[in-house]
Structure 1
Amino acid sequence: MNEQGQVEPQVYSFDEFFTEKAVFPVCIDSYQRPYVWDTDDVQELINDLSEYLAQSNGLAYYMGNVLLHQNNVEKKLFIIDGQQRLTTLSILYYVLNEKLIDSNKMAMEYHSPLSAQNIKQTQKLFERKKDKWKEQSTFLFSNIQFTFITTLSEDLAFTFFDTQNNRGVKLNPTDFLKAYHLRAIGNADHRDIQEDCARRWEKIQNKSTLFGQHKDFTAELFHQFLWRSRNWRGQQRVIYREDDDDMLTEFQKKSINSNSADTINLYPNPNNTLAKSLQLKVNQGYTLHTVNIEASNNSVHLPFTLRQPISKGLGFFLFSAKYADLVHMLLFDEDIKKPDIKAFRALYKDVWTKISLYLKELFVLASVMYYDKFDSEKLLEFTLWLDHVLGAVRIEKQSIYKEAITKFLKETDNNLLDIISQAFRPEEVILFIKSLTYYNEIYEKEEVIAGNGVQGVYKQNVLEYYKQTDFREKMDWINDDFIQRKLK
């Protein structure tokens, strides 16, 4: 950057930048994701550097752009893009030189357990090259080059960031969403709110995943739960797989402005209703019986609903935290006391953990939407009937493809997720599922051998769960006596 504050990309070696050119210590801002390079990423770099050292021919080893925001108030250079590469090279520098880079030039700190785990793993991989590369350390770090782009404007830095396609781990849309909404919170006056939101996000990332398709839970939360719950509507709009642009459109472009960084709008829903019943006083009007509104540090109690508008900044992070905690409360919380949730979890564990991934995604999504609307009221009864219709799909087809769940939502008289979202009472949802009599016929005609193949495994799990021997009258098993026994 020149004296007028204009952006002028400069090419420096790693060593040159961290000994001479960095005007402030290089830091990681609160919104940055953890260090996520895994064994494959590091090994690829090791292979490239080995080849380079064997035949450099005096040429530099170029590693792309590094984007920096020069914060003159805090006297720091915050990394906008390049954290993964700079962290990896800093670990290599430590291994080969047995010391850290000068803290006046490098002040990157890591607080995530995932970062600590990956840093240790990277260090172990580099230790294997220590004896061979130690004498070439000075040459190596004098010839590894970057194009450093430094701006005084954080927004301008992110403009560059959004259009870059640098070497490194491909960013998930949730990485962009995190950065976008932390920026939306505002300037240094709201640094405390930014840091609070960054901590909330990190907690979400470190939660266990359910389906094993993503490295951290934020990606799973937005793909398998939040986007689908908001966009799988009606009969025609249901599509199976959301892409990156869909995610950014829904949670970035469609988010709305707030009046201030620490205040967000609320919308009418069962979680923030003033009263739960009205009692008529003849000739004296009526009395409203108010609801006890939870005020706690538990994000599950936040007064949001899945399909509401999302406020930029704080609203986005609180919304994310609520549904991350809600999913984990339903599936993982060992201290849960509610009988319906404990019974739901037993059903999931006994019947659904080893079923088709695609059917399981819909089973859990519908259960989360139901709980979001009705809490645990009749949760077990709802999920027993949900198992009944989705289980029929499992029994009918030997192979379940990804289109199966959207086909289910499209081909019923109404979209089940819409029914849940729009219902006033749990009974409305349960009656809708019970009205899908086509699925009863599948059980009456099935000839699957229990325990044989994927269909048979499901059948065996269900028979053991209900303690029955014949599938043909399955719908009759779901009755008040059975439900009460499971709730004890």
Structure 2
Amino acid sequence: MTVQVATCSAAQLFSSHLLGDQVTGDARILSSDGTAIVGELTIPEYQRPYCWQDTQLSALLQDITAHSRHRPALSYYLGSLILHQAHGQLNIIDGQQRITTLALMGCLLQPHSEIQASLLQGLEYEHPISQQQIKHNLKWLKEKFSSQPEYWQGLVDFNKLQFTLVVTQSEDDAYRFFETQNTGGVRLGGPDIIKAHHLRAVDKLHQKPFAKQWESLGKLDDTVSALLKGRYWQRISMRELPSHQQKKQLRDCIVSEFAQQTGKGEDIAFGRTYRYTGLSGDVSHHQAQQGYDVRQPLNAGVNTIRYLSYFQGLYNDYWEKPDLPHLPGYHSLIVWLKGMEGCGYLEGLYKACLLLYISQFGENQLEQAAKKLFLVVYSRRVSNQKAVREKSIYAFTREYPVLDWIGLSYTPEQCFAYLDSFVLMVEGSNLDKNSVKKRFMDKVCEFFVLELKPGQYKDSFAQALTFKVAGDPL
């Protein structure tokens, strides 16, 4: 691994785009081994758009102001920049948000300077989101600076804003640094990090259309969370997921599962295939879904991008924004479930089950599957004494491997047999007051038209709901 490390000011960073032949004296940036760091700052196609907003701009200016007030003689440290050096360019792997923001400030506070030239000539922003955000931020900064231009010119001194540069000759090495360090500004989540990993694995000729496809997917967090549960919670290789509060550990799981552990190869999709053999011996093949399997192995690049795109589509169509007039019962159940109180952790498991079922069987008996999955997954709401805690969901899947019941079934009927073997139990406390459990059971009775008296909840609720799910359509 060849890595150069250097400390530089923002003024040095923008000076002639770090082109060594044109930079002399104090403007030159020398690494720890004495060699000059040269190249033109560029933003790779696969980088996320520029997305800093008013909150980040305001926080940066407040930090610079506070630092200047308390430590005026010292430089303000803006963190590390990770750059990949190749073909006379320094590709920005981590630091685009900070660099762009400083360039915008330079355009306003130091017109006709090298900083303005860097923004207008060296750094290119083709993504519409970047272009709109740059316009917005220029307007915001202009209004901020207009009342005291001389004050801000003295305060935002590019000679006193300092970076650490980490420059690698290998793109893979640059991303190893990127994936393991804490990022400043808008902290990157796992989906943001794996995006860069897979887009750089795509042939450069096709990077731009796949970058646009990724951006069109929107926020992937919920879909990736459901897929992680589907891949982690299986008897053959059971793994516990970090809590949603352990953001770094959870991010590391996403990077490991959907980036570091992906292989090299073609875009391959796995799925359930069944074969008909006629009396004459003729054979025909059929597949329930022309998509991907939740638990399949993945290859870097196009394969993982299309895998995530496929499941994001399923998530949007069957959970986030269901528009299914041909499945009115399923649609009404999902709309009702999304408004359920105190069931966030259960909802996470339920969405993982839905994605797994639909990816295998499509809409085949989907309404019935959704009801049976509800009875099993949401059982924790009535079998627990009080709250449903995050760790209890993992424990539940160890005792009742509902994801395996789906994943190991070849037909919906086989899956239903597993689900129907589950026995719903009601824990009797907190049913005589207006508790979360009691309100949940009231809503279930109303939705499924279970005609029970309050005093019958403990003895009759489970039997009535099981009968309703097994028989009557919604």
Whether the 8 Å contact between 1:369 and 1:417 is mirrored in structure 2 is: yes
- In the TM superposition, 1:31-430 aligns within 5 A as 31-54=46-69, 57-72=72-87, 76-96=89-109, 101-102=116-117, 103=119, 105-109=121-125, 111=127, 113=129, 116=132, 120=136, 124=140, 127-137=143-153, 140-151=157-168, 153-162=170-179, 164-165=181-182, 167-185=184-202, 190-204=203-217, 206=218, 217-222=219-224, 224-234=225-235, 237-241=238-242, 243=249, 244-258=251-265, 263-267=266-270, 269-270=271-272, 273=273, 276-280=275-279, 285-291=280-286, 303-333=291-321, 335-339=323-327, 342-355=328-341, 356-397=343-384, 398-412=386-400, 415-430=401-416
Shift of 1:320: 1.1
- Note closer, same or farther for the CA distance 1:153–1:461 as it changes in structure 2 (3 Å cut): same
Shift of 1:165: 4.5
- Note closer, same or farther for the CA distance 1:408–1:28 as it changes in structure 2 (3 Å cut): same
Q: Which residue of 2 aligns with 1:442?
A: 426
Q: Which residue of 2 aligns with 1:214?
A: none
Q: Which residue of 2 aligns with 1:17?
A: 13
Partner Cα separation in structure 1 for residue 132 and residue 432 of structure 2:
49
Q: Which residue of 1 aligns with 2:469?
A: 478
Shift of 1:479: 4.8
- Note closer, same or farther for the CA distance 1:69–1:345 as it changes in structure 2 (3 Å cut): same
Shift of 1:125: 6.4
What are the Cα deviations for residues 99-129 of structure 1, in whole angstroms up to 9, with x where unaligned? 8822565423152648845973685367335
- Note closer, same or farther for the CA distance 1:449–1:31 as it changes in structure 2 (3 Å cut): farther
Report the AA paired with residue 466 of structure 2: M
What are the Cα deviations for residues 350-394 of structure 1, in whole angstroms up to 9, with x where unaligned? 134324111111111111111111111111111212222333321
Whether the 8 Å contact between 1:13 and 1:146 is mirrored in structure 2 is: yes
Report the AA paired with residue 237 of structure 1: M
Whether the 8 Å contact between 1:358 and 1:401 is mirrored in structure 2 is: yes
What are the Cα deviations for residues 43-77 of structure 1, in whole angstroms up to 9, with x where unaligned? 331221112343554433232332333443xx654
Whether the 8 Å contact between 1:396 and 1:446 is mirrored in structure 2 is: no
| Count of residue pairs the alignment pairs up | 433
Give the TM-score normalised by the residue count of structure 2: 0.80
What are the Cα deviations for residues 253-310 of structure 1, in whole angstroms up to 9, with x where unaligned? 321211xxxx33344x22xx4x653321xxxx323345489xxxxxxx6532111110
Q: Which residue of 1 aligns with 2:445?
A: 463
What are the Cα deviations for residues 76-96 of structure 1, in whole angstroms up to 9, with x where unaligned? 542111112112223333444
Specify the SS of the correspondent of 1:68: strand
What are the Cα deviations for residues 146-176 of structure 1, in whole angstroms up to 9, with x where unaligned? 2344455433433543454454443323333
CA RMSD of superposed structures (Å): 3.3
Whether the 8 Å contact between 2:42 and 2:92 is mirrored in structure 1 is: yes
Partner Cα separation in structure 1 for residue 338 and residue 176 of structure 2:
44
Whether the 8 Å contact between 1:42 and 1:122 is mirrored in structure 2 is: no
Whether the 8 Å contact between 2:233 and 2:239 is mirrored in structure 1 is: yes
Partner Cα separation in structure 2 for residue 392 and residue 9 of structure 1:
55
- Note closer, same or farther for the CA distance 1:147–1:389 as it changes in structure 2 (3 Å cut): closer
Report the AA paired with residue 198 of structure 1: A
Shift of 1:347: 0.5
Report the AA paired with residue 136 of structure 2: K
Whether the 8 Å contact between 2:322 and 2:331 is mirrored in structure 1 is: no
Report the AA paired with residue 395 of structure 2: K
- Note closer, same or farther for the CA distance 1:114–1:407 as it changes in structure 2 (3 Å cut): farther
Once structures 1 and 2 are overlaid, which stretch shifts more, 353-362 or 457-466?
457-466
Whether the 8 Å contact between 1:302 and 1:322 is mirrored in structure 2 is: no
Whether the 8 Å contact between 1:343 and 1:380 is mirrored in structure 2 is: yes
Partner Cα separation in structure 1 for residue 134 and residue 371 of structure 2:
42
Whether the 8 Å contact between 2:50 and 2:129 is mirrored in structure 1 is: no
Specify the SS of the correspondent of 1:80: strand
Shift of 1:196: 2.5
Whether the 8 Å contact between 1:70 and 1:77 is mirrored in structure 2 is: yes
Report the AA paired with residue 265 of structure 1: I
Report the AA paired with residue 234 of structure 2: R
- Note closer, same or farther for the CA distance 1:130–1:221 as it changes in structure 2 (3 Å cut): farther
Once structures 1 and 2 are overlaid, which stretch shifts more, 397-406 or 36-45?
36-45
- Note closer, same or farther for the CA distance 1:266–1:167 as it changes in structure 2 (3 Å cut): closer
- Note closer, same or farther for the CA distance 1:453–1:95 as it changes in structure 2 (3 Å cut): farther
- Note closer, same or farther for the CA distance 1:378–1:114 as it changes in structure 2 (3 Å cut): farther
- Note closer, same or farther for the CA distance 1:366–1:386 as it changes in structure 2 (3 Å cut): same
Whether the 8 Å contact between 2:110 and 2:116 is mirrored in structure 1 is: no
Partner Cα separation in structure 1 for residue 262 and residue 412 of structure 2:
30
- Note closer, same or farther for the CA distance 1:118–1:399 as it changes in structure 2 (3 Å cut): farther
What are the Cα deviations for residues 18-61 of structure 1, in whole angstroms up to 9, with x where unaligned? 24343365332122123344554333312211123435544332
Partner Cα separation in structure 2 for residue 428 and residue 118 of structure 1:
55
Percent sequence identity is 23
Report the AA paired with residue 157 of structure 2: L
- Note closer, same or farther for the CA distance 1:191–1:164 as it changes in structure 2 (3 Å cut): same
Whether the 8 Å contact between 1:27 and 1:109 is mirrored in structure 2 is: no
Where does the alignment leave 5 or more consecutive residues of structure 2 unmatched? 20-38, 244-248
Partner Cα separation in structure 2 for residue 349 and residue 163 of structure 1:
39
Where does the alignment leave 5 or more consecutive residues of structure 1 unmatched? 1-5, 207-216, 294-300
Report the AA paired with residue 426 of structure 2: I
